[in-house]
């Protein structure tokens, strides 16, 4: 998030640095989905369209029903996002109601995650764990610290969570493998080659088979649900301009947890942002617009276990960025002192825990307001490409006259500023009774919506 001190000051106006890469992945629309195989592939992230389910049993249409009007909602996005070192394929689904009477009401935006056990990848994970047990960490020579930066290694190894077969926040351990016996060298090399080939190729045959939706929507109630035109969802890292040097007053101390760490990661400047506890100006909205302005076309922000970017100072903001306790103000003149404006810090304590495994939920991603514009334009473009026939036009007029053009419940538009999704931190796949692991599951997660004022 933006730096706490925003005054521009620099020793040299000519000084310029390269952009700062953050831990956030941004999602952008990337053209209409035309291929039938992509529409059925759960590993293809998308905006709009119909869902491609991972579980072999098609979830009930009630998963997409608005909790206010009980009508099926449109799919906003489907995101392919398996957890690191998890044997399960994983996808996240987000629906939202566009009826005007349901706006600003709880239950008009819902999110679910689908999991399915991937037997072949589970076997490869077990192989890796077995090999890691034989690895020995070699201490660096005295006086010669390692030149490799663990953060850069982690960044280089961390693929996009939306790529087929990739995992989030992958990390290469700083270890040296103990040389195996000669007869085992060939097997080890083959295993390593297989892993590299599998990880590097996001379109491998087996991955496509395991990720492909096992259920089709033919002759399904899902085909009768409303939908937007499907578009590909592509991702890229977020880059922000470097923070300008600041010269705070001598009597003011700016505390940043990042300053207490000698290791300067590529995104520490933005990682521990505090929010001013002031109601005079909506600093939260100002910071939101400033942060988003660097990539205005973004429709999604993904940072598993990260910090959400709040839209405005509302009740949702108060719950996840609670005001810190303050010392009582002095009442006598001799005790007069300057009280600095307190800073707010992110806390997920108010987010309900997972009802199945009882683990905490962590922030995973948030839908951005530009998605509303993208969905609107995609439908307009489609209607222009596919003009209505005379029969369809007559039917549309008859339906409009029957319902009444001024019926507020028929007006469709979304008004949210951002929708934040919080998921089970253990990504549990337990049976309903919570007793044992299941091969696949379908779980609803928590969505906090900040509405556009």
The model's confidence at residue 74, banded by pLDDT at 50, 70 and 90, is: very high
Residue 354 and residue 421: Cα distance in Å, rounded?
Answer: 13
Task: Please indicate whether residue 264 or residue 151 has the higher confidence score (pLDDT).
Answer: 264
Please tell me the predicted confidence (pLDDT) of residue 132: 80
Tens-place pLDDT, residues 83-120: 988 899 999 999 999 999 999 999 999 999 999 999 99
Give the closest residue to 231 by CA, choosing from 446, 50, 453, 444.
50
Please tell me the predicted confidence (pLDDT) of residue 127: 87
Residue 132 and residue 124: Cα distance in Å, rounded?
Answer: 12
Least confident of 107-111, 273-277, 403-407: 403-407
Please tell me the predicted confidence (pLDDT) of residue 3: 42
Please tell me the predicted confidence (pLDDT) of residue 264: 43
Mean pLDDT of 135-139: 57
CA–CA distances in Å: residue 219 to residues 57, 201, 216, 328: 14, 34, 9, 66
pLDDT of 411 strictly over 70: no
Residues 6+ apart with CB under 8 A from 262: none
In sequence order, what DSSP letters do the residues of 29-77 get, joined into one string?
EEEE---HHHHHBTTS-EESS----SSSSPPPGGGGB-TTT-PBPEEEE
> What is the pLDDT of the chain when averaged over all its residues?
74
pLDDT of 272 strictly over 90: no
Tens-place pLDDT, residues 173-232: 333 334 444 444 444 445 554 554 444 344 344 444 445 555 556 678 898 899 999 999
Please tell me the predicted confidence (pLDDT) of residue 136: 55
Tens-place pLDDT, residues 63-72: 999 999 999 9
Tens-place pLDDT, residues 154-170: 333 334 444 433 444 33
Mean pLDDT of 318-328: 85
* Total-model pTM: 0.71
Residue 346 and residue 411: Cα distance in Å, rounded?
Answer: 36
Please tell me the predicted confidence (pLDDT) of residue 301: 98
Give the closest residue to 357 by CA, choosing from 414, 294, 432.
432
């Amino acid at each position: 998030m933006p730096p706490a001190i925003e005054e521009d000051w620099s020793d040299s106006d000519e000084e310029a640095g390269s952009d700062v890469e953050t831990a956030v992945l941004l999602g952008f629309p990337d053209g209409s989905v035309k291929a039938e195989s992509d529409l059925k592939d759960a590993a293809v992230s998308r905006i709009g369209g119909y869902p491609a389910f991972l579980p072999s049993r098609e979830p009930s249409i009630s998963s997409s029903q608005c909790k206010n009007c009980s009508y099926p909602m449109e799919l906003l996005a489907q995101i392919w996002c398996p957890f690191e070192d998890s044997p399960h394929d994983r996808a996240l689904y987000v629906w939202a109601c566009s009826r005007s009477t349901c706006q600003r009401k709880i239950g008009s935006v819902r999110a679910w995650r689908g999991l399915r056990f991937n037997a072949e990848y589970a076997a490869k994970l077990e192989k890796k764990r077995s090999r890691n047990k034989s690895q020995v960490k070699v201490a660096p020579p005295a006086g010669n610290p390692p030149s490799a930066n663990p953060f850069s290694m982690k960044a280089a190894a961390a693929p996009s969570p939306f790529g087929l077969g990739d995992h989030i926040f992958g990390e290469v351990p700083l270890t040296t493998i103990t040389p195996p016996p000669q007869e085992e060298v060939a097997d080890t090399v083959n295993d390593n080659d297989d892993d590299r080939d599998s990880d590097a190729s996001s379109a491998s045959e087996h991955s496509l088979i395991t990720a492909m939706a096992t259920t089709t929507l033919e002759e399904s109630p899902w085909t009768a649900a409303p939908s937007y035109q499907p578009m590909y969802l592509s991702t890229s890292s977020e880059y922000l301009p470097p923070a300008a040097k600041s010269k705070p007053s001598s009597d003011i101390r700016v505390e940043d947890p990042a300053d207490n760490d000698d290791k300067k990661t590529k995104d520490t400047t933005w990682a521990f942002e505090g929010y001013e506890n002031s109601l005079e100006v909506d600093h939260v909205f100002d910071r939101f617009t400033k942060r988003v302005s660097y990539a205005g076309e973004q429709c999604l922000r993904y940072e598993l276990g990260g910090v959400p970017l709040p839209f405005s100072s509302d009740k949702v903001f108060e719950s996840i960025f609670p005001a810190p306790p303050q010392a009582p103000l002095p009442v006598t003149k001799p005790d007069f002192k300057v009280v600095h404006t307190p800073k707010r810090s992110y806390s997920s304590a108010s987010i309900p825990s997972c009802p199945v495994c009882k683990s905490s939920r962590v922030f995973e991603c948030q839908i951005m307001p530009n998605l509303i514009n993208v969905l609107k334009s995609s439908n307009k473009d489609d209607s222009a490409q596919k003009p209505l026939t005379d029969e369809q036009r007559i039917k549309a007029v008859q339906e409009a006259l029957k319902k009444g053009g001024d019926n507020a419940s028929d007006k469709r538009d979304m008004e949210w500023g951002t929708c934040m999704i919080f998921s089970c931190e253990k990504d549990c796949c337990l049976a309903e009774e919570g007793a044992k692991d299941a091969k696949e599951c379908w779980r609803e997660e928590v969505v906090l919506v900040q509405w556009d004022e």
